[in-house]
């Protein structure tokens, strides 16, 4: 049995096609999970909504606690890090992470940035040693072979590499950089465009994204261990 971590980051609570003014990224992530459950019905699904329930932002106390050796932490430090520890634990147990992350002002939503800041943890997801030869940092999740799927939505169009707005896309490149730093390099991205136009191009983009998701689910499901009979 594999574990799939489903994350939504949109500020919109509903799904497009079902709810008025619903989120396209929530629609895509829900479509992915529904298809995954049909393909691998015995897998465990863990859900985290950082759009409606964003993690607490990093503070000076958080930094102090995180960079204190665990054995030397005071009780208040464990309290400050409790939410971060829970988020890291979810990430560590996940075989596949599917994240619905819309583009807000060319970057990720604040709730997802807070999520990132809480899971990038020294001693838990990356290592750091000033005395180490070469780079003092190293990823701690490399040998876990996790897969990350980023399902996004964009108001404009042309954000893929070499397209007209590629240089303004700070969603997928940012996520790939951060998760790669932790050791998660098997990353897949599918996005809906033309949201601000709301015409037939948006509908075509949605249809293509859902078709691509179906194919990706089959590809990833086959790459995992077979389900027990």
Chain segment 90-146, per-residue pLDDT in tens: 999 999 999 999 999 999 999 999 999 999 999 999 998 888 877 889 999 999 999
User: What is the pLDDT confidence band of residue 24, given thresholds at 50, 70 and 90?
Assistant: very high
> How crowded is residue 63: how many other Cβ atoms within 10 Å of its Cβ?
13
Q: Over 50: is that where the pLDDT of 229 sits?
A: no
**Residue labelled with tokens 């990224």:** 25
Question: Which segments are annotated as binding site?
Answer: 10, 23-25, 103-106
| pLDDT band for position 50 (cuts 50, 70, 90) | very high
Question: For 60-89, what is each residue's pLDDT tens digit?
Answer: 999 999 999 999 999 999 999 999 999 999
Q: Which residues are annotated as a binding site for FMN?
A: 10, 23-25, 103-106
What is the overall mean pLDDT for the chain? 96
Compute how many other C-beta atoms are within 10 angstroms of the C-beta atom of residue 38: 11
Residue 159, C-beta contacts closer than 8 angstroms, at least 6 positions apart: 103, 165, 166, 168, 169, 191, 193
129 exposure class (CB count in 10 Å sphere: 0-12, 13-18, 19+): exposed
Asked if pLDDT for residue 227 goes beyond 80, the answer is: no
Q: φ and ψ at 130, to 5 degrees? A: -60, -25
What pTM, to 2 d.p., does this model score?
A: 0.95
Top-tier CATH class for 3-223 = alpha beta
pLDDT more than 90, % of the chain: 92
Q: What is the 3-state secondary structure (H, E, C) of the chain?
A: CCEEEEEECCCCCCECCCCCCCEHHHHHHHHHHHHHHHHCCCCEEEEEECCCCCCCCCCHHHHHHHCCCHHHCCHHHHHHHHHHHHHHHHHHHCCEEEEECCCECCECCHHHHHHHHHHCCECCCEEECCCCCCCCEEECCHHHCCEEEEEEECCCCCCCCCCCCHHHCCCHHHHHHHHHHHCCCEEEEEEECCCCCCCHHHHHHHHHHHHHHHHHHHHHHHHCCCCCC
Mean pLDDT of 200-206: 97
Q: Where are the domains of the chain?
A: 3-223
Please tell me the distance from the alpha carbon of residue 171 to that of residue 30, in angstroms, as a whole number: 20
């Amino acid at each position: 049995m594999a574990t799939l971590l489903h994350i939504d980051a949109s500020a919109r609570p509903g799904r497009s096609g079902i709810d008025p003014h619903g989120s396209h990224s929530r629609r895509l992530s829900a479509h992915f999970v529904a298809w995954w459950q049909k393909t691998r019905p015995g897998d465990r699904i863990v859900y985290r909504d950082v759009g409606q329930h964003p993690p607490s932002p990093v503070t000076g106390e958080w930094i102090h606690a995180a960079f204190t050796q665990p054995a030397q932490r005071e009780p208040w430090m464990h309290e400050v890090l409790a939410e971060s520890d829970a988020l890291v634990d979810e990430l560590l147990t996940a075989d596949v992470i599917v994240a619905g992350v819309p583009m807000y002002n060319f970057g990720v939503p604040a709730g997802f940035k807070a999520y990132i800041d809480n899971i990038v943890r020294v001693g838990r997801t990356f290592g750091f040693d000033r005395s180490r030869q070469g780079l003092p940092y190293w990823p701690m999740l490399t040998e876990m072979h996790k897969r990350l799927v980023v399902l996004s939505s964009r108001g404009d169009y042309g954000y893929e590499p070499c397209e007209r707005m590629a240089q303004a896309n700070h969603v997928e490149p940012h996520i790939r950089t951060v998760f790669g730093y932790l050791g998660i390099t098997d990353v897949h991205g599918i996005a809906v465009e033309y949201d601000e136009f709301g015409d037939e191009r948006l509908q075509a983009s949605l249809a293509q994204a859902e078709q691509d998701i179906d194919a990706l689910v089959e590809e990833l499901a086959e790459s995992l261990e077979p389900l027990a009979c």
